[in-house]
Amino acid sequence: TVGAIGYGSYEIYNKRHPLEQKPFDPKKRTVVVLGSGWGAVSFLKSINTDDYNVMVVSPRNYFLFTPLLPSCTVGTIELRSIMEPIRFITQHKTRNVKFYESECTDIDPESKTISITDVSDIKGSVSNTTIPYDYLVMAIGADNQTFGMAGVREYACFLKEVWDAQKIRTRLMDCVESAGFAKQAPEEVDRLLHMVVVGGGPTGVEYAAELHDFLKDDLEVWYPELADKFKITLVEALPNVLPMFSSQLIQYTESTFKQNKIEVLTKTMVKEVADKEIKVMDANKNLVSIPYGLLVWATGNCPRPLTRKLMARVKEAQTSPRGILVDDYMRVAGAPDIYAIGDCTFSKYAPTAQVATQQGLYLASVFENLARMEDGQNKKITPFEYSHQGSLAYIGSDKAIADLPFLNGNVSVGGVATYVFWRSVYISNMFSFRNRFLVVGDWMKSKVFGRDVSR
């Protein structure tokens, strides 16, 4: 292989060439994994392929480190720095792992088969097929919650995937350039430069924070004639932002946003979305119009169509509309041999990367124990137990907040030192050394040269 004849770091990177892997063994059980996000990757990293044949089906042939996605919308970090090909993990397994870049469109728990569709723009002669499984691991994440509101999908930008971050960036720069267009009316300039974020959960807050930094550090410098016209508004239906953080950190975030001139409209619910304005029910129950240039929609999760389809097939056991119900061993209620982890499930934990990772790791250990029990060893499968490691969020101006479990209590900290901690935690949790290297490089690059303002 190229790695074997020695190409420096490339050699380290490609340590095991796929050709050295064992082939599929028809005598072994086949585990099909749906997804290439946090849950799936954590499972894949740990599953012992000496015991099973493993196949992965996902419309994305890469893993995405979502915690740094908000930084990509403004160019602090480049998207490719937080992506890693799924084959980077599969090449390190002892047995060849098959990967199909496709979407699973249906699951038949009776015949134990799944239907998959090629999602690439260029297709071969076969683009739909079915695959049998012995065990299925569903880790397909969740969809963006829109509450079925007309206009959201058409006019707003979500923030979940690579293409969402790209779309936000393009729209933002379009707004800025259009605002500077010859003879633009003053009220139209104000509208175009009004960036509205809906949802005061961590996604909305972190996006507003990154946007603030971009406006202050870069756009105001590059576009001095527009500097005093940029405006950010965060709309939240509840009485405060970040309900999962301590009240002290909520107050700290809200006062930081106030200093940074990010307007926070709490107890305000979006009711209608049109192409240039949203209508909100404000705290006094008045219907108010808010014109916007860029609208970012971050109102949480809802089940994907495939999740709903599976739940409908076993509807007697699936009684929650919010996600798949699993038992303490991650088995899907009503569908033996199907396991579900991460955001596609409905559980008592928040839908976070932290939960999905721990569930993936746990499930790989369940499969290991099942294999050892089949070998005749005395093994016991214990229920999944979640261990909360704390919550972190970036709030802008080089400040972050952290709620950390400490000696049976909780420590709430916020500020610049927490930001350094935030960075070090994310860097140490990155998928690969390559990702770490690229992200640190991006941080240095944006400090030295500023963020890139090209469209």
**What residues form DSSP beta bridges with 58?**
101
Contact call for residue 338 and ligand FAD (CB under 6 A): no
- Which of these ranges, 7-15, 174-182, 284-292, 343-351, lies near ligand FAD under the rule CB under 6 A? 343-351
Contact call for residue 203 and ligand FAD (CB under 6 A): yes
Nearest distance from C-beta of residue 227 to ligand FAD, angstroms: 28
CA-based nearest residue to 351, from 301, 297, 403: 301
Contact call for residue 425 and ligand NAD (CB under 6 A): no
**Token pair recorded at residue 8:** 């420096």
Among ligand FAD, ligand NAD, none, residue 270 binds (CB under 5-8 Å by kind): ligand NAD
Per-residue binding letters, 333-372, with ligand NAD (x by CB under 6 A): -----------------xxx--------------------
Contact call for residue 391 and ligand NAD (CB under 6 A): yes
- Which of these ranges, 38-46, 237-245, 258-266, 410-418, lies near ligand FAD under the rule CB under 6 A? 38-46
Contact call for residue 446 and ligand NAD (CB under 6 A): no
Contact call for residue 253 and ligand NAD (CB under 6 A): no
Single residue of 30, 37, 97, 430 touching ligand FAD by CB under 6 A: 37
Single residue of 31, 47, 69, 401 touching ligand FAD by CB under 6 A: 69
- Which of these ranges, 79-87, 106-114, 195-203, 370-378, lies near ligand NAD under the rule CB under 6 A? 195-203
Single residue of 162, 173, 226, 269 touching ligand NAD by CB under 6 A: 269
Nearest distance from C-beta of residue 106 to ligand FAD, angstroms: 9
Among ligand FAD, ligand NAD, none, residue 37 binds (CB under 5-8 Å by kind): ligand FAD
- Which of these ranges, 112-120, 295-303, 319-327, 329-337, lies near ligand NAD under the rule CB under 6 A? 295-303
Single residue of 39, 202, 293, 414 touching ligand NAD by CB under 6 A: 202
Contact call for residue 352 and ligand FAD (CB under 6 A): yes
